[in-house]
Amino acid sequence: MPDAMVAASLSEATSGGTTQQVDVAVVGAGFAGLYLLHRLRKAGFTTVVLEEADDVGGTWYWNRYPGARCDIQTIDYSYTFDPELESAWKWSEKYATQPEILRYFGFVADRYDLRRDIRFRTRITAATWDQAAERWLLTTNEGATVSCRYYVMATGCLSAPKPPEIDGVKDFKGEVYFTGRWPHEEVELAGKRVAVIGTGSSGIQSIPLIAEQAEHLTVFQRTPNFALPAHNGPAPADRVALLQGDRASYREQARWSLAGVPWPQQTAVSWQLSDAERRERLDEAWAKGDLVYILTQLWADQAVDVDGNALLADLIREKIHETVKDPETAAALTPHDHPFGAKRPCLDTNYYATYNRPDVTLVNLRQEPIKSITASGIKTDERTFDVDVIVFATGFDAMTGAIMAVHPITGRGGKSLSDVWANGPQTYLGLTVAGFPNLFMITGPGSPSVLSNMAVSIEQHVDWVVDRLIAMREAGFTAIEATETAQAGWARHMADCATLTLHRLANTWYTGANVPGKALGVMPYTGGVGPYRSICNEVASGGMLGFRLTGPNVAEQCNDGEIVRLQPDVRLVLNMLADMKLPPLESFGAQGARDFLAEFNAARPAGRPVGEVVDGTLPGTDGPLPYRLYRPTTPGPHPIVVYFHGGGWVLGDQESDDPFCRDMCRRTGMIFVSVGYRHAPEHRFPTAAEDGYAATRWIAEHAADLGGKPGPVMVAGWSAGANIAAVTCQLARDRGGPQISGQLLVCPVTDCTFDRPSYSDNATGYFLTRSLMYWFWDLYCSPADRTDPRASPLRGKLEGLPQALVLTCEFDPLHDEGVAYAEALAAAGVPVEQLNARGHFHSSFTMVDVVITTVSGRVQMAEALRRFAGLPSERRQGDEGVRPGRTASPHEIAAAAG
């Protein structure tokens, strides 16, 4: 609609009141709002920022409680868009105080002359999308309305304080303060009895300072948090040197890192380190006083594995007990209900030591919950505490609160955002919402936001949004809206990412669990800052994938689809492989490919410990075959699984699927014997198949000697190994044994037909390519032999075979022949379960500690093997708490954390 018509329709809509016409209206003059204004202005968009406070600063304007500081080092928690700004401002401390941060925002606002476009003391009371005009109409508390083409919420994630949800607050006759709305004037606490309710970051930062002033401080703690010493002071020389040595590269590394601070990816896993080494690492981290360091740099599995996390959490618990003198108080302060890092850990200055003061009391609300607040103080189930002051450090309605609860937002067709988000926030990229055209959120739910250095995420979001607006203007588009498909895909990807972390195992404000009645689900994007950035870039370079763009004089553009269909860890692996720009594996020749695989495997994380690993040989048909036996830690005898490695009958050996065999041995409590069958092209068909059968027969006959249970064995295999396992079952049935009680076939080769759709859909790009499969077949088997059931078990007789679990991966050329085998087994009356792993590629299941999202599949494999062996189900807690593709229910979160 031309602007003159817009103006006319708007003046009607606002009944003659003043309406400010702008291209973009931004809510909030904090970190995000200021940078937005600067960039939008430079790009030539008329912009107004609407801010409820009377000055800039956002969260740092409101959170003025004693001890308020950032807990990302200030050299990282800064704008980076202008190198001159960086040299013009010098932080005085490693973690700046709130007044200094506020001064910084004032400095930025002055330097870029931002205040003239900020309307302070202005609260928006409603925002409504006018479809005909393709504009948002904003009403405000101070009369003047705003009409804007684009509406951007820069409202922050933690700006809507949560009501205390305790009866009787209004009855209290003393002073009441909220950390998130601390008064501007000095609060006098000297000589007063003070209560602090809440021990999140705000409580933990303020408690030591309040204790110094108050006559007596009583802390009411519902859930203890992990807190680490900040060791504040000057910025650490090594970090400053790193930054100053090459500022541009330092900032760029931060932008592509996982958390927005340039620390390297940790590679050592907890089980590779001795107790002393782990302790040494913790002591080093403790001395550093850096939240991101301790959250990421101790060992690679600390944030993704329950056991790896527990080792770290135990060491931190020891530190708490070392500092707090009274054992009962120390115990109450020690968290046990969540993995370290699943709830936001805090940085503190003297927090734990404060409880050694005689004038500080800790009340454990888990033992004596608050009943009510009375005129004179706080009443628990057991006691009454008379106080003069109550400080509520009870947190925020995080992530959605500031966007949704502050004012009604009405989108296309009269849709209300509160209704659309009633069951939890739905967004595309955390930046946009289907049904709400031209609305953007900076660090909205679904963006890395609070799990990252906010400074880095904010700059990335702002740049992405403003660059899109510029591109739209150039192309003549006036409206942009996310599609439902893209949004649903993002929700799936978010859930997939969440299964990689331990956030799902804690009741926190990340999941909405701190607000009674709020829908539960991990709200921030847990996939990391760098991956998120690359996804956003791909959306733009992919023709604005998942967005509908319209304009008065241009054809509508909608490149619909899901931006990430791969599991997040698969995406990382495939991107890494793509970056290596390897020539096709088959071009190396058989020996070259074997050498490459050996090198590739040497770089993977060490396999997890099992009871015992024994290398041996067994007699094959033409001489000895090597094997590797994995024995569980539990007392034997154990059921035996004969395992065949993958590698297209050409590559690999009895050790090449080592992490997978270890994992399955641990999960099943069974002996795994991985067989080194002979390979093509030196030994062509049917050598591998016959070796597999002979080895299974020998292992079954010598089960007791190997420490296994005599009786039937099971077979398992991956890829060509699964082909051998399937063939072994057919041969065992036809040749009078051995007895096999079940077969586990992971991405099996079952047929020599290459015209099933998965062969072309997944022909390239997923590591195992169609041409690599052709090469494997050519080396293994002449065309005349390929229809032999010993090469293509799908062509054999399937009746009377052992029960099976067939696992297929979505992005695998072999997907369809795996499904075909499962269907054929079922048709032949064989009990069979078939699982398709969404978003996975051919190698997903054997890359155990790299592709972690296969964990629920591996749990199901272990369950199937136990079933085959006639054993009861035995699920491990934690790693299968949430299946990929959905978020946890409150019950699951509580159960898994408990």
For residue 803, the Cα-to-chain-centroid distance in whole angstroms is 36
Residue 98 or 719: the one with the smaller Cβ distance to ligand NA7 is 98
- Helix residue ranges, H only, 512-622: 529-541, 568-580, 589-602
394 belongs to the binding site for ligand NA7 (CB under 6 A): yes
CB of 433 to ligand NA7, least distance (A): 24
Extract the tokens encoding 420.
Answer: 């659309």
CB of 506 to ligand NA7, least distance (A): 9
Which of 19, 147, 159, 223 contacts ligand NA7 by CB under 6 A?
223
Which of 30, 67, 203, 686 contacts ligand NA7 by CB under 6 A?
203
Which of 201, 526, 719, 854 contacts ligand NA7 by CB under 6 A?
201
CB of 312 to ligand NA7, least distance (A): 19
Binding window for ligand NA7 (CB under 6 A); candidates: 394-402, 414-422, 568-576, 599-607: 394-402
CB of 394 to ligand NA7, least distance (A): 4
Closest of 648, 561, 655 to residue 602, by C-alpha: 655
Which of 509, 660, 677, 811 contacts ligand NA7 by CB under 6 A?
509
Extract the tokens encoding 635.
Answer: 């007392």
Which of 33, 57, 200, 435 contacts ligand NA7 by CB under 6 A?
200
Binding window for ligand NA7 (CB under 6 A); candidates: 198-206, 419-427, 620-628, 731-739: 198-206
Residue 504 or 733: the one with the smaller Cβ distance to ligand NA7 is 504
* Residues in a beta bridge with 628: 615, 674
In DSSP notation, 359-394 reads TEEEEETTTS-EEEE-SSEEEESS-EEE-SEEEE--
Sign of CA dihedral 488, 494, 496, 502: negative
344 belongs to the binding site for ligand NA7 (CB under 6 A): yes
Residue 332 or 469: the one with the smaller Cβ distance to ligand NA7 is 332
199 belongs to the binding site for ligand NA7 (CB under 6 A): yes
SS3 assignment for 70-123: CCCCCCCCCCCCCHHHHHHCCCCCCCCEHHHHHHHHHHHHHHCCCHHHEECCCC
Cβ neighbour number for residue 737 with a 10 Å cutoff: 13
222 belongs to the binding site for ligand NA7 (CB under 6 A): yes
CB of 399 to ligand NA7, least distance (A): 11
616: three-class secondary structure by DSSP = strand
CB of 8 to ligand NA7, least distance (A): 46
Which residue is listed with tokens 């899901």? 562
User: HSE-up of 383 (CA within 13 Å, CB side)?
Assistant: 12
Long-range contact set of residues 539-547: C-beta below 8 Å, sequence gap at least 24: 539/429, 539/563, 540/464, 540/467, 540/468, 540/471, 544/468, 544/480, 545/486, 546/428, 546/482, 546/483, 546/485, 546/486, 546/487, 546/489, 546/490, 547/428, 547/432, 547/480, 547/481, 547/482, 547/483, 547/486
Which residue is listed with tokens 């040299």? 87
Q: How many residues bind ligand NA7 (CB under 6 A)?
A: 23
Amino acid 373 reads I
Cis, bond preceding 738 (omega within 30 deg of 0): yes
Please state, in angstroms and rounded to a whole number, the distance separating the CA atoms of residues 241 and 246: 9
Residue 341 or 395: the one with the smaller Cβ distance to ligand NA7 is 395
Beta-strand ranges (E) seen in 179-291 are: 193-197, 216-221, 227-229
CB of 672 to ligand NA7, least distance (A): 43
Binding window for ligand NA7 (CB under 6 A); candidates: 270-278, 281-289, 393-401, 834-842: 393-401
CB of 398 to ligand NA7, least distance (A): 7
Query: What x/- string results for residues 153 through 172 when contact with ligand NA7 is judged by CB under 6 A?
Result: -----x-----xxx------
CB of 830 to ligand NA7, least distance (A): 51
Residue 182 or 509: the one with the smaller Cβ distance to ligand NA7 is 509
Which of 395, 528, 531, 620 contacts ligand NA7 by CB under 6 A?
395
Please state, in angstroms and rounded to a whole number, the distance separating the CA atoms of residues 183 and 194: 16
Please state, in angstroms and rounded to a whole number, the distance separating the CA atoms of residues 229 and 353: 11
202 belongs to the binding site for ligand NA7 (CB under 6 A): yes
Identify residues 48-107 at the interface with ligand NA7 (CB under 6 A).
Answer: none
Cis, bond preceding 2 (omega within 30 deg of 0): no
Find the residue with minimal CB distance to ligand NA7.
Answer: 200
198 belongs to the binding site for ligand NA7 (CB under 6 A): yes
393 belongs to the binding site for ligand NA7 (CB under 6 A): yes
Query: What x/- string results for residues 352 through 391 when contact with ligand NA7 is judged by CB under 6 A?
Result: -------------x----x---------------------
Using CB under 6 A as the criterion, which residues of the chain lie in contact with ligand NA7 when the complex forms? 158, 164-166, 179, 197-203, 222-223, 344, 365, 370, 393-396, 509, 514
